[in-house]
Amino acid sequence: MNMNETETMTAFERLLRAADPLPAATALEAETARAMTRTRRAFAGARRGRAVGHSLAAAFSIFPAPWGPLHVAASESGIVAIELRSTTPDFVDGLSVRLHGRVVPEEAGEVPEAWRGYLDHGRTQLGEYFAGHRSRFDLPVDLRGISEWDRRVLTGAARLDFGETTSYGELARRIGKPGAARAVGGALGRNPIPIVIPCHRILAADGTIGGYGGGGHGSRVEMLAVKRRLLTLEGCAFAG
């Protein structure tokens, strides 16, 4: 080797990078989503195995949304989860892990009347919202199992009105953590109750659409399509 150490390393690093064993971004994203779902299920299994006196945690129902089925669950204190693009097993497993309890369909006999009441209100209000007849939700929410930071971000997001948007950085500033835009984005991506907690109203600083977790197992493209739809419904301006 005649080249000096630094030059050789750089050329070699380039060679390594060109042979990165990681699949391309879209394929990787799909693989990651699958692996996350599988691991989540394994937790549910592990917890079921160890749980004693596994109690009823939530009841769920499936509402129609303009893009397909919407999974919604209620607990003793209100709406506890919404997933915009999910399957019933994914939704039930994920939620039972978060709540450490069983999640059953609302028709189940053991479901208390009050929980059904929350779901009924949710169904009505979400239907009105999608039809363009409602700009505020009047629903109690249950943020159990959510970290303190996520709660703080979500509470901040919940103060945005219908049709009002802001940026990740600005929301960070409003909740007293200027500079924490990325962490704000992370918390919004984990929003357990999208739409009702309007994380879709937060855009990138340059006015482009930003990201959208939106509670679900849809691909990034599908989730962004939902975010666009919600913003359009609210008459918000956004780029891209």
Stretch that binds another protein, among 6-14, 60-68, 82-90, 226-234 (CB under 8 A): 6-14
Size of the site for another protein (CB under 8 A): 40
The rounded distance, in Å, linking the Cα atoms of 101 and 48 is 8
Q: Which stretch binds another protein (CB under 8 A): 10-18, 75-83, 85-93, 229-237?
A: 10-18
Binding mask 36-55 for another protein (x = CB under 8 A): x-xxx-xx--x---------
Q: Is 26 in the site for another protein (CB under 8 A)?
A: no
Which region, judged by CB under 8 A, interacts with another protein, from 55-63, 67-75, 140-148, 231-239? Answer: 140-148
Decide: is 9 part of the binding site for another protein (CB under 8 A). yes
In whole angstroms, give the CA distance from residue 138 to residue 194: 14
Q: Tell me how crowded residue 116 is: count the other CB atoms within 10 A of its CB.
A: 15
Residues 93-122 that bind another protein (CB under 8 A): 97-98
User: Do residues 220 and 213 make contact, with C-beta atoms less than 8 angstroms apart?
Assistant: no
| Binding residue for another protein, selected from 2, 4, 22, 53, defined by CB under 8 A | 22
- Catalytic status, residue 199: yes
| Residues forming the site for another protein (CB under 8 A) | 8-9, 12-13, 15-23, 28, 31-32, 34-36, 38-40, 42-43, 46, 97-98, 143, 145-152, 155, 176, 186, 190
